[in-house]
Amino acid sequence: MSLDATTRSRLVGLFVDEAQETVTSLESLAERMSGGPEPEALAQFGRAAHGLKGAASALGFEDLAGILHDLEALTLRLEGDGPGRRADGHSRLRRAVGLLAGGIAEMSASGRDGFPGPVVAALRETLGAAPAPANGPAAPHGAGVQRTEAHGGPLAGEAVVERLSVPADEVDDALRLAASLARGVAMLEERLGGDGAAAQAQGLGEVARRLEASIAALRLLPAGMAFSGLEGEAEQLASRLGRQVRLEIQGRAVRADRRTLQAARGLVRHLLRNALDHGVEPPEERLQAGKPRAGRLTLKVETAESVLRVAFEDDGRGFDVPAIRRELERRSGAPGAVAALSDAEVLQRFASEGGSTRESASQISGRGLGLSAVAAAARASGGSLEVVTRRGKGSSVSFSLPLDVYAVETLSVRCGGRLFGIPLSAVERSVCLGAAAGAVHQGPTGRTLAIGEGIVPLAGLAEVLGVAGAEERFAVVVRGAEGTVALGVEEAGAVAGVVPATVPGLAQNDALVTGLARLADGSVLQILDPRHLVAAFRADRPRRAATRPAPAAPPPAPARALEVVLAEDSPATREVLRVLLEQHGLRVRLAADGDEALARIGERVPDVLVTDINMPRLDGLSLTRRLRDEAATARLPVILLTSQDDARTRAAGAAAGADAYLVKSRFDASLLLETLGRIGLGGRR
């Protein structure tokens, strides 16, 4: 694999980051197994070693790949060993992991492009592997940049690319602090109002927002950069197997957090090796089947619904489903146990359990662990995996991973006084309805909009979202999985690249919002999911048939809106909750922890306190007890809002004196309003 020095240096840096995380996991798993047989830990250990082996092999670190292959083989032998041999095997395994960690740390500290030779020798001795022959194969690509002077620096004339490694957790902490700063300055701007210092506060707010965006961008990486070099890896591995392939990567411009893209790259390597070793046929076989000599591999990357979606497709043999059925039945030991399963269920079970229909393993794709490693990683992170195959035509393996941070280009639209963002990738065009009045028609199934030679259904975005709307001046044509629709909005604004703050389990329950982003002027943009938006449009269309309902009149302004003090330490969750509560007519004052909540309540006692339980300095339970001890707040309604849904924590909340207990994963604003009514506050809005 021929790469320029800059690209290779970046890829080696990514490998070292991945290897350090993997070795940390291996150390933890080895410790778990020290007390006795741990089949699940052993399986996880084998999958992790298998994944790192592929990454090492792809960069030409063949010595390290061989060591990891032997380490993987050791875990498989341990499953069948007796107590004595198992104890010795575990001891060797722990020593090997310690040596491996040291070698990776040395690579990271020195910036060298290769695994240290002395560590390789020590690992071979520990694992009982034969040493590499002195006249063995030529050094892998990159060996020319491994040489260093006695002091450890690069030789003259070699390219040096400076790489600064910063732990992801530290970047996350910096991002949280920047978000808190931006929010604090926004609150300061509101309080200053027309004061002479307002202009200075606005300037400070702009700096804070730019700082927040800049730190968020540190976590972002274009997919094209994260997956660069895979084409060369595919060609190199195919050549070793006597095959020809061409890999196409779609979605290179997608930007997401480095950690997720790095994890996805490791999973794609598994799928690449499986496709080359099991799927893509040799050139002669492909020609006989009427296919081109070179196999076609396609990697598709996209972000949607706060997840990274990756699909890896090949045009090879496809999975041998009958053989997989026989293998699954053999393992089950019960004849006919899988007969009732559909082909899709057979593939999903095979992907989850792992295994192979081959009798022998290869060093390219191993012992059937590749696909199960992808399934296990996706499942462990809360993602998913799907396998589709057509015998003789090829197969597709798709997986999803939750995103910590991602960037999305959005078109901002205004509806019902709120600002929404629709991902630009789903927007076909926007239309001024005043200029295109003749293109709008009322039919038996509702309104339609004629665009060119096509006709698409039209409805107000306010109707779809279930909010009060105003005059529709523009229509935005949006494409989703269930077709294309036109949505009437009050205004269609500018296109902006934003980094949404996502809080799964909270934002999705309110008006199809999947995340929030703060724009340069400080306003909050609610990001809509196009797929669910179109689905909701079509599901509600029968209700809008025949006539267009008049826009709902805005509700009368309450004499005095309820005031809420919201205590939550997560900036993203705090912002989501603030937006949801304010949308439903509540006035919100924010606090980052229990101590700050006490200060807010001391300034002015609110109508209700909504507080998280786990917070720094003063937690929610301690905060509730403190309030109950003071005469002025002894009867203040307190609602606990937490991710903990267990009887013990609920009992602790009741004992502390809380009036209600809500779980974040099931929270939406209507549930809070219902709870307020139940504790006697509903009529005061």
* 50-59 pLDDT tens trace: 778 777 776 7
Number of residues that make up the chain: 685
Confidence of residue 317 (pLDDT cuts 50, 70, 90): very high
Query: Token match 């830990």: residue?
Result: 41
Residue 567 token pair: 């205590």
State the CB neighbour count (10 A cutoff) for residue 223: 24
Beta-carbon contacts of 345 under 8 Å, excluding residues fewer than 6 positions away, are none
Res 581: pLDDT: 81
Confidence of residue 611 (pLDDT cuts 50, 70, 90): very high
Query: Token match 């060298």: residue?
Result: 112
Residue 558 has pLDDT above 60, yes or no: no
> Exposed, middle or buried: residue 190 (CB in 10 Å: 0-12, 13-18, 19+)?
exposed
Confidence of residue 129 (pLDDT cuts 50, 70, 90): low
Handedness of CA 111, 112, 115, 117 (dihedral sign): negative
Handedness of CA 606, 612, 618, 619 (dihedral sign): positive
Res 121: pLDDT: 85
Residue 78 phi, psi (nearest 5): -60, -30
| CA nearest to 548, candidates 466, 485, 463 | 463
| CA nearest to 230, candidates 195, 275, 260, 189 | 275
Res 149: pLDDT: 30
Amino acid (one-letter) located at 64 = L
Res 287: pLDDT: 94
The highest-level CATH class for domain 563-684 is alpha beta
CATH of domain 5-132: 1.20.120.160
Give me the torsion for CA of 95, 96, 102, 103, rounded to 10°.
Answer: 160
189-216 pLDDT tens trace: 666 655 556 566 666 666 666 676 666 6
| Alpha-carbon distance values, 500 to 208, 213, 394, 405, 496 (Å) | 16, 10, 36, 7, 12
147-189 pLDDT tens trace: 223 233 333 333 333 344 555 566 666 666 666 676 666 666 6
629-641 pLDDT tens trace: 999 998 899 999 8
223-239 pLDDT tens trace: 888 887 788 788 888 88
The residue extents of the domains of the chain are 5-132, 169-218, 222-402, 408-544, 563-684
Predicted TM-score (pTM) of the model is: 0.49
2-40 pLDDT tens trace: 556 766 776 777 778 778 878 877 887 877 777 666 777
Check if the beta carbon of residue 286 is closer than 8 Å to that of residue 298. Answer: no
441-463 pLDDT tens trace: 876 667 888 876 667 888 888 88
| CA nearest to 433, candidates 467, 411, 468, 461 | 461
Residue 36 token pair: 């006795």
State mean pLDDT over 310-329.
Answer: 89
Per DSSP, helices labelled H in 289-336 are 321-332
Residue 654 phi, psi (nearest 5): -65, -40
Q: What is the mean pLDDT of the chain?
A: 75
Res 143: pLDDT: 32
Handedness of CA 641, 644, 647, 651 (dihedral sign): negative
Poorest-pLDDT segment among 119-133, 341-355, 525-539, 561-575: 119-133
- What CATH number does domain 222-402 carry, 3.30.565.10, 3.40.50.720, 3.40.1390.40, 3.30.1180.20? 3.30.565.10
Poorest-pLDDT segment among 145-149, 172-176, 282-286, 378-382: 145-149
Query: Token match 């329950």: residue?
Result: 509
Res 396: pLDDT: 92
The yes-or-no answer to whether 5-132 and 563-684 have a common fold is no
Rounded-to-5 percentages of helix, strand, coil across the chain: 45, 20, 30
Percent of the chain residues past pLDDT 90, beyond the cut: 12
Query: Token match 């799927």: residue?
Result: 279
Instruction: Return d(Cα 56, Cα 113) in angstroms, integer.
Output: 11
Beta strands in 102-195 (DSSP E): none
Give me the torsion for CA of 419, 425, 428, 431, rounded to 10°.
Answer: 20
Amino acid (one-letter) located at 181 = L
Res 566: pLDDT: 93
Instruction: Return d(Cα 607, Cα 500) in angstroms, integer.
Output: 31
